[in-house]
Chain A
Amino acid sequence: MTAQPGIDITLAGELGSFGLDVVLSVPARGVTALFGPSGCGKTTVLRCIAGLQHIPGRIAIAGDVWQDTSAGYFRPPHLRHVGYVFQEASLFPHLSVRDNLLYGSRRVTTPGASGIGLQDIVALLGIGHLLDRATTALSGGERQRVAVGRALLAEPRILLMDEPLSALDRATKDDILPYFERLHEQLSLPIVYVSHDLAEVERLADTLVMVRDGRVVACGPLHDLQTDPALPLLAGPDATVVLAGHVVQIDDTFALTELQVGGGRLIVAGRHGAPGALRRLRIAASDVSLSRSRPTDSTILNCLPVRILSIDGAPEAPQANVILGLGHDGTGDRIVARITRKSLITLELVAGADVFAQIKGVALLAARGSATGPASGQPPRG
């Protein structure tokens, strides 16, 4: 499906009470989130990629075939060169933090190929002060960071993460997420991330694979799936879109950041990186309202010309989702406005109409408050 060889998986087999029948093809770069309710089979897919579980089918990563049942081929896990982060850190209790970190890297046959050394990983994850401790002396968040570091130091070709935050409390999660975002920004390593938490997906994922009852429901760029009326993401109470934007300029007088997204510019409160820095923005559908003419006396800073691409909602429902394309011609990024059916009729809004979207809340995901951009060596608090 993709021109470049990506992550191509076909699996079909029995799995406990239900069958697993997965076909997916995603790019072998960035973060791919396998998203779905517990027990839907997403972890099984991840285990199959690592070779920890064997379900008939074919698995090819970046053109390299790891499993092909029809050809009778199954590469054992230790020859696949994956990094795997389990739900629990699963550190080796008989080894120190340092020896845990180096367990995989000592087994790399051509060390240094990835150019990542212990010092880089330690700095990236902020675990330098833990190196000589016993694993039992670490907090939950520290253990999970060491587990990530251990996986990365084995110089994997792909990083597989199985709900790495689900065993942690909210505060610890918030401490660790910035480190994961740094992985995403600083390593050119494809990551497959299993999660049932939409907030994590919004912060990390580039590509989304929605799994339900052992099947892939939808698969594509996060932004596309968030604005697809056929999918439950849009129908849910917190329909949201995530946009990528480059910082254009900082308004020092009012402490505002202006970001360029496809088809328009958005303003966010606060200073968020140097010009050119890439940021993720989150816009909830309930924070977007529409007007026929450009309002001139509103407190809302973000008011953009948009074109209505489609309107989604049952005829009797009190509210409808309006899918909008940014820009005068509507060819920019898509956002969604959730408005009442009454407004829809009063304003005579139909597909193809050019209107103005007022966006009350633009949240910056990965808001680290760093003024130096993603290449900064300054680790976030953790």
Chain B
Amino acid sequence: MLDAAELWPPIRLTLQLASLSTILLLLVGTPVAWWLARSKARWKEAVAAVVAMPLVLPPTVLGFYLLIALGPSGAGGLIAPLWGARTLAFTFEGLVLGSVIYSLPFVVQPIRNAFEAIGDRPFEVAATLRASPWDTFWTVAVPLARPGFMTAAVLGFAHTVGEFGVVLMIGGNIPGETKVLSVAIYDFVETQRWTEAHVLAGGMVAFSFLVVLTMFVLEKRVGRNRR
């Protein structure tokens, strides 16, 4: 009675979405975190607050504004025609964009903390050893902040896997395009298909446990390396 053909597409789609989002999150989040950690600008906390907004905003609110932004009358309507589409709403690309914005605080915060924990001294040492700021970033900042990057990647990935409200608002429920795990579980429950719901939900419990465990192990290693 379990139909793999029905269970597999949402799992695969979720993994694709989370992987792509995590890569983009690290690419976008790292410079933001670096700036927040190193800048002396007085208004940087305002930027930090904007980045952290998704932490407190109801997902439906964020999803609502994203829907407008991605839709034909928003920015999405301007970009989408470039590849022949009409809108970014209810597309996989739209979901990726929404996930990146929604999960940004979960990536920026650990990386920022890791950068801040390094302090000024290693950068000063590198500068007196002829390393340019760009060189120092790659050979000192990134290696020393590695645990922060790993935490950020795990959190960004997991958070994207688990999102529901934003997906529902901007992605809808299109199989193979926007129907991700969390939406699929909701669907199965709605149609009283408890077995499928159990399989997916149980898998998520196991997955979440592994994520949290990984985080704790990583944090322990950070603590040991700091001295």
What residues of chain A have their CB less than 8 Å away from a CB belonging to chain B?
Answer: 50-52, 76-84, 86, 88, 90, 92-94, 103-104, 107-108, 136, 150-151, 154, 160
Q: How far is the CA of A92 from the CA of B124 in the complex (A)?
A: 11
In the complex, per-residue mask of B120-137: 1 if CB is within 8 Å of any chain A CB, else 0: 011011111111110100
A78 in contact with B227 (CB, 8 Å): no
Q: Is B191 an interface residue (CB 8 A)?
A: no
Contact present for A78 and B130 (CB under 8 Å): yes
Q: Are A52 and B128 in contact (CB under 8 A)?
A: yes
20 contacting pairs across A/B (C-beta < 8 A) = A52-B124, A76-B127, A78-B128, A79-B130, A81-B130, A82-B128, A84-B128, A86-B124, A90-B122, A90-B124, A90-B125, A92-B122, A92-B144, A93-B144, A93-B225, A94-B144, A103-B131, A150-B129, A154-B129, A154-B130
Q: Is the CB of A107 within 8 A of B129?
A: yes
Interface pairs A-B: 8 shortest CB-CB: A104-B129, A84-B128, A77-B127, A107-B130, A94-B143, A78-B127, A154-B129, A90-B125
Q: Which of B126, B128, B133 contacts A151 (CB 8 A)?
A: B128
Do the beta carbons of A151 and B127 come within 8 Å of each other? no
Q: Does chain A have a CB within 8 A of B154?
A: no
State whether the Cβ of B140 lies closer than 8 Å to any Cβ in chain A. yes
Chain A neighbourhood of B132, CB < 8 A: 78
Q: Which residue of A lies closest to B136 (CB)?
A: A78
Query: In the complex the two chains form, is B130's CB within 8 Å of A50's CB?
Result: no
Residues of A within 8 A of B121 (CB): 86, 88, 90
Using known A-B contacts A93-B227, A94-B144, determine if residue A108 contacts B130 with beta carbons closer than 8 Å.
yes
Chain A, Cβ-Cβ closest to B130: A107
* Residues on B facing A (Cβ under 8 Å): 121-122, 124-133, 135, 139-140, 143-144, 146, 225, 227
How many pairs, one residue from A and one from B, have CB atoms within 8 Å of each other in the complex? 67
Known: A86-B121, A93-B225, A136-B227. A52 touches B130 (CB 8 A): no
Complex contacts, A51 vs chain B, CB 8 Å: 127
| Contacting residues, chain A, for B140 (C-beta < 8 A) | 92
> Looking at the complex, which one of A81, A84, A94, A108 makes contact with B125 (CB distance below 8 Å)?
A84
Contacts of B129 in A (CB 8 A): 78, 103-104, 107, 150-151, 154
With A92-B122, A94-B144, A107-B135 known as contacts, the answer to whether A50 contacts B227 (CB < 8 A) is: no
Expressed in whole angstroms, the minimum distance between the Cβ of B224 and any Cβ of chain A is: 10
Chain A residue at minimum C-beta to C-beta distance from B121: A90
Q: Is the Cβ of B144 less than 8 Å from the Cβ of A50? A: no
A81 to B129, CA, bound (A): 7
Nearest Cβ distance between residue B150 and chain A, in whole angstroms? 14
Look across to chain B and name the residue whose beta carbon is closest to the beta carbon of A76.
B127
Q: Are A86 and B225 in touch, CB under 8 angstroms?
A: no
Q: Which residues of A contact B131 (CB under 8 A)?
A: 78, 103-104, 107
Query: How far apart are the CA atoms of A78 and B133 in the complex, in Å?
Result: 8
Smallest Cβ-Cβ distance to B144: which chain A residue? A94
Q: Which residues of A contact B127 (CB under 8 A)?
A: 50-52, 76-78
A367 to B144, CA, bound (A): 42
Residue of B nearest to A107 (CB): B130
